[in-house]
Amino acid sequence: MLSLVLRMVLLLVLAACGDDVVGTRPDAGGDDVGPGDSGTDADRGPAPVDDAGADAGNVGPLTFHCAPTTTECPEVRVQGDPPTTYPQHPFHGYGDPSLEADETGRLWLAYSWLDTTVSPGTLVDFTVRTHLARSDDGGRSFTFVRAVNEVERRAHWDDGTRSGIVEHEVSTLVREPSGSWQLLWLDYFDELGDGPMNRSDFFFSRARAATPEELGDTIEPWIRGSAATASVGAPHVLSSVAGLEDCLAFTEPGLVAAEGSTWLAAGCLWLESGELRDRLVLLRETPDGYQLAGTLLDGADGTRLGADRMEQADLAFARDGSLLLFVTPIVAAGDPMHQGCVVYDVEDLATARLRRDASGAPIARAVITSDGNGLGPGLCTYDAASETGVLLVITRFDLDATPPSLAFTMHATGLHP
């Protein structure tokens, strides 16, 4: 969600760390309402959209524009877990959704719940935590289940004089091949009172349980890159995985269960001539850790779309059985920065190969856009069992208001690509 902030922070952190962490890329050779509310019958689902075929031929990608003021792309809220209210909470709403169906067809939704915290001394910070909801009616409505984590105020792991909070965002939910459930999310240290430039030490935490309802009972730091302090306690340093030695930090995880394994897509941030770059990598979880499968998307792929980066990956199966990759193109100087979502076919997990044309460009299966400003539309998730179709997050920022309003909403596109 806060990828631009992360990049700015890392540049400052790396400048202070010296050669120990600086890598270069090796030669590659308010009220509770359901999806149908917002002025319509609460039982009404999103308008249907024709499915995209597995072979799009020469007709180009399926396109859909989510107009949030219409009934064709209704807002999705969680019953029993309304967003915080403005103006008491300038930072409010839902973000970072992740959908997963269980063996009975019940849907589970992990999402970020946004808040504004006033700390002692009237220091104001935006806070993010992970919540869990379920749907017993195929995605027509969602009901709050639990908070998975809470924003934690603490001293920095290595420096007891620095007080801050540990934020939790960009969660990803999967039912593993064994039948267990895993929830992974991005954590970082946010120093109190000094603005977003003092966010540091980005790592993934994990909850694993036999049932979704138990997710959050036990939480452990799980994955970090070389730029995060070892004191966070994450046992898996992906920068030590062959092929990822240049990766300083990992962002915005996406999990999927396929071919008898659990797979992780994540952004790898690395330096080239002092400039921070990224690529989307895919790893297979093994009994001992993680093994690199390959690179799903790199900077050249983003450039083809006029984007600086391609982030916020979600992996899911289509109704025709195809494995899909959802990503958000990001234009750093754009308004909005996030440009919706693009959907690609994954042809081979073992080599992280997407469907590409003769020139090597990835072929888009679907393109989803929307209105909104500020951060902009994106952060898509999908499960073929959900009547919501693709879930999309839209932002509306009013920085001229007093106080400024930063609103995040989830919307059901009805699209099944």
Per-residue pLDDT, 119? 57
Q: Which residues contact 265 (CB under 8 A, 6 or more apart)?
A: 253, 254, 255, 256, 280, 281, 282, 283, 296, 313, 315, 325
**Per 3-state DSSP, what percentage of the chain is helix, strand, and coil (rounded to 5)?**
10, 50, 45
Quote the CA–CA distance of 250 and 267 in Å, as a whole number: 5
Per-residue pLDDT, 100? 98
The DSSP output letter for 24 is B
Per-residue pLDDT, 78? 98
How does DSSP assign 231-246, residue by residue?
A: GG--SEEGGGSTT-TT
Per-residue pLDDT, 194? 55
What is the domain extent for residue 25?
3-412
Per-residue pLDDT, 10? 35
Cα dihedral: 105, 61, 110, 394 (round 10): -130
CATH of the domain at 126: 2.115.10.20
In a domain, 417, yes or no: no
Quote the CA–CA distance of 4 and 187 in Å, as a whole number: 15
In a domain, 321, yes or no: yes
Count of the separate structural domains present in the chain:
1
In a domain, 396, yes or no: yes
Per-residue pLDDT, 195? 53
pLDDT tens, residue order, the chain (417 aa) = 654 343 333 333 333 443 333 333 333 333 333 444 433 333 333 333 444 443 444 568 999 999 987 788 999 999 999 999 888 888 999 999 999 999 999 999 999 999 987 655 545 678 899 999 999 999 999 999 999 999 888 999 998 888 888 999 999 999 999 999 999 999 999 887 655 557 899 999 999 999 999 999 999 999 999 999 999 999 999 999 999 999 999 999 999 999 999 999 999 999 998 888 999 999 999 999 999 999 999 999 999 999 999 999 999 999 999 999 999 999 988 889 999 999 999 999 999 999 999 999 999 999 999 988 888 999 999 999 999 999 999 999 998 998 889 999 999 999 999
